[in-house]
Amino acid sequence: MQVKVVMIGGSGFIGKHTAKFMSGNDLCVYDLVPPEFESEYVQGNVLDEKRLEKCVDGSDAVIFLASLISVPRSFDTVAEYMNVNACGAASLVEAIKNASKRPKRVILSSSAAVYGEGAYVCDVHGKVYPLPRSQDQLNKGSWEPRCPYCGREVKPLPQAENDELKPLSPYALTKQVQEWLITAMAPRLGYSAVVLRYFNVYGPGQRPDSPYSGVITRFISQAMQGRRLQVFEDGLQTRDYIYADDVGAANARALELEESATINVGTGIRTTVLQLAKLIAGRHGVDVAVGGYRQGDIRHSVASVEVMRTRLGWQPRTALEDGIAATESWMNESAHLKSESTP
């Protein structure tokens, strides 16, 4: 059935990949900048409640993607992050409240960042939530998180939707606020709220030269320049890398959910940063170096994918090697285009 979908913040990286899965729908993008794909488009700021109301009025579903997305930047411009991300979600709620025909579904792009370091297992204390690692601990090269009660090293658990949320950055806190607002207002305003917590998204269209970019595009870009890849800590920290097309497909799938739900969107596969670096370095014949650390980084993150499988009835398709190859082709092509357009 054709449905009218408004994608707020749809001109960005994930919007572009989501649009590929919207061909049967009547799509409208609301964003500060126009999309690079064919779509109805309304230019507007997410904070402009009136304009947003006009756009969402009469739609069937809203996919909410508009956010500022850099964790490090969010520490420097806290008020701006709170304003755009948290007030942006509030503005959407107001727009829906005032619309004469309200959408029946809101899909929110949240983030694994809401979990912070997440839950671990201590041999003595069972499931625990370690504190962020101290500078002293990191200086000693003692990388694994420790039990907050007895100080023993603990083992990571997959991050599950009903875990406690421990956001560690202003960005992560704004995603938690978005989740809370969109979910709590759902029964009052008569829509179902589908909160999707994306893990580490990568793929074509993610700019390698911006502070917002993920580690995969950064590594590929460095390897393409023949540079050595620098991996922090001992390289054995883990992440869950999910290809952008798979995230787009998950957004499309969420349009079919009738009831509210909070769902991780990840692969459930742990990859060490060292494995990732070696995979990319091997394709270009460059070296990998290990060492140093960044205060505030978490040690381990992988999605529990049970809820995704059962509620969404879906799982990602793209193997990391294939996703990296596709991202590399795109970066080669765009480097080629750039050099052609430079006189």
Ligand X SMILES: NC(=O)c1ccc[n+]([C@@H]2O[C@H](COP(=O)([O-])OP(=O)(O)OC[C@H]3O[C@@H](n4cnc5c(N)ncnc54)[C@H](O)[C@@H]3O)[C@@H](O)[C@H]2O)c1
CB 270, CB 238: distance < 8 Å: yes
Of residues 160-199, those binding ligand X (CB under 6 A): 198
Is there binding between residue 33 and ligand X (CB under 6 A)? yes
CB 11, CB 35: distance < 8 Å: yes
Alpha helices in 238-319 (DSSP H): 244-254, 273-284, 306-307
Closest CA to 73 of 145, 154, 172: 172
Q: Which of 150, 184, 319, 337 binds Zn ion (CB under 5 A)?
A: 150
Torsion of Cα atoms, 49 then 74 then 80 then 50, to 10°: -10
Is there binding between residue 311 and Zn ion (CB under 5 A)? no
Name the residue whose CB lies closest to Zn ion: 147
Is there binding between residue 147 and Zn ion (CB under 5 A)? yes
Contact of residue 122 among Zn ion, ligand X, none (CB under 5-8 Å per partner type): Zn ion
Task: Compare residues 89 and 122 and give the one whose CB is closer to Zn ion.
Answer: 122
Q: How far is the CB of 267 from ligand X (least distance, A)?
A: 13
Q: Which of 130, 203, 214, 248 binds ligand X (CB under 6 A)?
A: 214
CB 171, CB 81: distance < 8 Å: yes
Q: How far is the CB of 240 from ligand X (least distance, A)?
A: 11
Closest CA to 203 of 250, 241, 254: 241
Contact of residue 52 among Zn ion, ligand X, none (CB under 5-8 Å per partner type): none
Q: Which of 5, 7, 15, 179 binds ligand X (CB under 6 A)?
A: 15
Of residues 58-77, those binding ligand X (CB under 6 A): 65-67, 69
Contact of residue 149 among ligand X, Zn ion, none (CB under 5-8 Å per partner type): Zn ion
Q: Which of 7, 14, 99, 223 binds ligand X (CB under 6 A)?
A: 14
Q: How far is the CB of 148 from Zn ion (least distance, A)?
A: 8
Which amino acid is located at 217 in the chain? T
Write out the E strands in the chain.
Answer: 4-8, 26-31, 40-43, 61-64, 105-111, 120-122, 126-128, 155-156, 192-198, 200-202, 229-231, 238-239, 241-243, 261-265, 271-272, 288-290
Is there binding between residue 31 and ligand X (CB under 6 A)? yes
Burial class of 95 by CB neighbour count within 10 A (0 to 12, 13 to 18, 19+): buried
Is there binding between residue 11 and ligand X (CB under 6 A)? yes
β-pairing verdict for 241-243 and 261-265? unpaired
Binding site for ligand X (CB under 6 A): 9, 11-15, 31-33, 45-47, 65-67, 69, 84, 109, 111, 198, 200-201, 214
